[in-house]
Amino acid sequence: MSRRPEGERVRVVSREACVAQVRAWQAEGRTVVFTNGVFDLLHVGHLRYLQAARAEGDHLVVAVNTDDTVRAAKGPDRPVHPADDRAELLAGLTAVDLVTLFDEPTPAALIAAVQPDVLVKGADWPLDQIVGRDTVWARGGRVVRVPTEVGHSTTGIIGKIRQ
């Protein structure tokens, strides 16, 4: 795994800034990995997943669902933390180089704009349901399914708290 240069800041950026940074990295011959998710209650399963994703390339871009998209997918009680907080927490992890938000039901348009070299999702996602796989494959990229950590989930944490 490559190391971030001393003093280089991890950033939460707009879609446009994300695309520009990815193009710059790719122009330097670096491999850009992309993943997305809610990352609501950050836990060790998330950390291990992001570390595994980062190991697939030189830079990891994480796209975070906005609050409206989380509510639409998971119900009115979610997310627990607002999108800006979730993004800032992720940006503080050493495995993560860049964070951006997306407000669409899926990250398809963002993946099409970013054009990552590697797309990573959890192994709980069947390959034929991974949004953006065709975009990545069309440019000769890879789709990687990372094993999920059994016993580590935001839903499980919320259930435990409610007990």
pLDDT in tens, 69-95: 999 988 888 888 999 999 999 999 999
CATH of domain 11-162: 3.40.50.620
Model pLDDT, residue 26: 98
Report how far residue 40's alpha carbon sits from residue 122's, in angstroms, rounded to the nearest whole number: 16
In the 8-state DSSP scheme, what is residue 57? S
Do the bridges between strand 98-102 and strand 118-122 make them parallel or antiparallel, or are there none, so unpaired? unpaired
- Residue 78 tokens, joined: 């979610």
Q: Residue 64: name the closest of 41, 43, 44, 35 by CA.
A: 35
Domain coordinates of the chain in residue numbers?
Answer: 11-162
Contact 116, 136 (CB under 8 A): yes
pTM value is: 0.87
Helical spans, DSSP H, in the chain: 15-27, 44-54, 67-74, 83-91, 108-114, 133-138, 154-162
Share of the chain above pLDDT 90, in %: 73
pLDDT band at 1 (very low <50, low <70, confident <90, very high): very low
